[in-house]
Amino acid sequence: MAELLEVRDIRKSFNGRVAVDGVSFAVEKGTVLGFLGPNGAGKTTTMRIIAGYLLPDTGSVCVLGTDAVADPVAAQRKIGYLPENTPLYGEMTVEEFLDFIGEVRGFHGRAKLRRIDEIIEQCFLEPVRHQTIDTLSKGYRQRTCFAQAIFHDPPVLLLDEPTEGLDPNQKQVVRDMIRRMGQEKIILLSTHILEEVEAVCSRTIIISRGRIVADSTPDELRRRSVTYNAATVRLGVPASQAEAELRRLPALAELRILEEDQRTCTVYLRPGDGRPLAPEIHALACEKKWPLMDVHTDEGDLSEVFRRITVTEDTRSAGSSTAQ
């Protein structure tokens, strides 16, 4: 199974405190895997272990057939890593830095110069090409680091909060790049931006307290939201006429009258099990001859699911637990 990134039961403690507590997953080519979790959940530690910058206490990592723990150098050749805190050589210009990265990665002569030009164009670094890294703005530093991660066109990319600090336009540019590269590569990216997960990831792992608590597609996760398929309905009859009938809908768990006047009402209806309510509402309105003026169906909310199944460092130290 050489096309896989395989992480098997990795564990890591710092000074007796568990940071990663038995994480296992396998990712295949053509996947953008979003790594989500509260602060301190163990995302960066897991990525550093995969990148070969940190040894796990136990467990193994296999990068396209190469054991990253036994042979980190060979595994690193297949990996591009954008760390959380970008260690750059501040006194070099962007071009000098990329030249240095090129040499380290085995590029020389014309091929190296060509690649530097390509990368500078791809990462929109032309305006700062001759500027020293120390003097770059945060966004340009981030993009310079992104450029080093993809320089050797590695089949596996580990991106720790890749759009952190970028302006909205550049966030979009980087997301487009990730989406495009994700068709051919294995990309593991950590983020706190749930909208980013929905925009670019084909799979999501949620990690909490060093453990995987969800592994699914973003769509499937969203469907676990308590508000999934809830309907907000505007009817051309007063609430007093509709409420009792609506309460009889078999899937209903919650009903709230949001607005009403003498002729219309707007009602929020939430199903108990995520089943769609809209068809039953349509059928009822038809049967009772109620004018159905508007129906809006809730698509679910990833952030609500995230909050429900994760435990933050703060709640952990407060001794409470809201895990699944």
Ligand X SMILES: Nc1ncnc2c1ncn2[C@@H]1O[C@H](COP(=O)(O)OP(=O)(O)OP(=O)(O)O)[C@@H](O)[C@H]1O
Q: Which residues of this chain interact with ligand X, rule CB under 6 A?
A: 14, 19, 37, 39-45, 84
Residue 312 in the binding site for Mg ion (CB under 5 A): no
Compute the least distance from the CB of residue 324 to ligand X, in Å. Answer: 18
Compute the least distance from the CB of residue 39 to ligand X, in Å. Answer: 3
What is the spatial distance between Cα 170 and Cα 234, in angstroms, rounded to a whole number? 40
Residue 191 in the binding site for Mg ion (CB under 5 A): no
Q: Using CB atoms within 10 A of its CB, is residue 250 exposed (0-12), middle (13-18) or buried (19+)?
A: exposed
In the numeric block, the tokens 């707007």 are attached to 266
Contact 142, 165 (CB under 8 A): yes
Pick from ligand X, Mg ion, none: which does 39 bind, CB < 5 to 8 A by kind?
Answer: ligand X
**Residue number with CB closer to Mg ion (82 or 284):** 82
Compute the least distance from the CB of residue 19 to ligand X, in Å. Answer: 3
Q: Which of 23, 160, 152 is nearest to 76 (CA)?
A: 152
What is the size of the binding site for Mg ion (CB under 5 A)? 3
Beginning with the edge strand found earlier in the chain, give each strand of the sheet holding 292-297 in spatial order.
Answer: 252-260, 265-271, 231-235, 292-297
**Residue number with CB closer to Mg ion (210 or 271):** 210
Residue 144 in the binding site for Mg ion (CB under 5 A): no
Compute the least distance from the CB of residue 137 to Mg ion, in Å. Answer: 22
**Residue number with CB closer to ligand X (119 or 197):** 197
CA distances from 215 to 48, 299, 309, 316 (A): 20, 19, 12, 22
Q: Choose one: 66-74, 79-87, 221-229, 277-285; the region binding Mg ion (CB under 5 A).
A: 79-87
Residue 310 in the binding site for Mg ion (CB under 5 A): no
**How wide is the angle at C-alpha 220 spanned by C-alphas 218 and 225, nearest 5°?**
95
What is the spatial distance between Cα 287 and Cα 147, in angstroms, rounded to a whole number? 62
Q: Choose one: 57-65, 83-91, 120-128, 171-179; the region binding Mg ion (CB under 5 A).
A: 83-91
Question: Which secondary-structure segment (H or E) carries 235?
Answer: strand 231-235
Compute the least distance from the CB of residue 48 to Mg ion, in Å. Answer: 9
**Residue number with CB closer to ligand X (44 or 225):** 44
Q: Where do contacts with Mg ion occur on this chain (CB under 5 A)?
A: 43-44, 84
